[in-house]
Structure 1
Amino acid sequence: MPDGTQKKPSRIQKRNRRVILDAALEVFSKQGYRGATLDQIATEAGLSKPNILYYFQGKEDIHLTLLSQLMETWLDPLVELDPDGDPQTEILAYVQRKLDMARDLPRESRLFAGEILQGAPRMGPHLESDLKPLFDEKCAVIAGWIDAGKIAPLDPHHLIFSIWAATQHYADFAAQVSVLLGKDADPHQSASDHLSAMFGKMLRP
Structure 2
Amino acid sequence: MSTDTEGDGPTTRIQREKHEIILEAALDVFANHGFRGATIDQIAEAAGMSKPNLLYYFRSKEDIHQTLIARLLDNWLAPLRHMSADGDPLEEILDYVRRKIDMARDFPRESRLFANEILQGAPRIMDMLAGPLNELVREKTTIISQWMAEGKLAKADPYHLIFSIWATTQHYADFDVQVRVVLPPEHSGEERFEEAKAFLESMFTRTLTP
Is residue 10–residue 16 contact of structure 2 (8 Å, CA) maintained in 1?
Answer: no
**Which residue among 111, 114, 118 is the counterpart of 2:113?**
111
Q: How far off is 1:17 after superposition? A: 0.6
Q: In 1, distance between residues paired with 2:108 and 2:70?
A: 17
Partner residue in 2 for 1:191 = 196
Listed as ranges, the gaps of 5+ residues in structure 1 are none
Q: Give the letter aligned to residue 152 of structure 2.
A: K
Task: State the aligned residue count.
Answer: 201
Q: In 1, distance between residues paired with 2:150 and 2:78?
A: 26
Partner residue in 2 for 1:146 = 148
Partner residue in 1 for 2:15 = 13
Partner residue in 2 for 1:203 = 208
Partner residue in 1 for 2:4 = none
**Which residue among 19, 29, 32 is the counterpart of 2:31?**
29
Alignment of 1:50-199 (within 5 A): 50-181=52-183, 182=185, 185-186=189-190, 187-199=192-204
Q: In 2, distance between residues paired with 1:42 and 1:8?
A: 18
Q: How far off is 1:189 after superposition? A: 0.9
SS at match of 1:23: helix
Q: 1:117 to 1:51 in 2, by over 3 A?
A: same
Q: Give the letter aligned to residue 172 of structure 2.
A: Y
Q: 1:174 to 1:8 in 2, by over 3 A?
A: closer
Q: Give the letter aligned to residue 138 of structure 2.
A: D
Q: Deviations over 1:65-116 (max 9, x none)?
A: 1111112111110001110111100000000011111111111111111111
Is residue 144–residue 158 contact of structure 2 (8 Å, CA) maintained in 1?
Answer: yes
Q: Give the letter aligned to residue 202 of structure 1.
A: T
The percentage of counterpart residues that share the same residue type is 55
Is residue 179–residue 188 contact of structure 2 (8 Å, CA) maintained in 1?
Answer: no
Listed as ranges, the gaps of 5+ residues in structure 2 are 1-6
Q: In 2, distance between residues paired with 1:81 and 1:55?
A: 37
Could you tell me the TM-score, scaled by structure 2's length? 0.92
Q: Give the letter aligned to residue 188 of structure 1.
A: F
Q: In 1, distance between residues paired with 2:194 and 2:81?
A: 24
Q: How far off is 1:7 after superposition? A: 10
Q: Give the letter aligned to residue 82 of structure 1.
A: S
Q: How far off is 1:184 after superposition? A: 5.1
Say what the alpha-carbon RMSD is for the aligned residues. Answer: 1.7
Could you tell me the TM-score, scaled by structure 1's length? 0.94
Q: How far off is 1:138 after superposition? A: 0.4
Q: In 1, distance between residues paired with 2:188 and 2:114?
A: 26
Q: In 1, distance between residues paired with 2:159 and 2:76?
A: 17
Q: In 2, distance between residues paired with 1:7 and 1:191?
A: 39
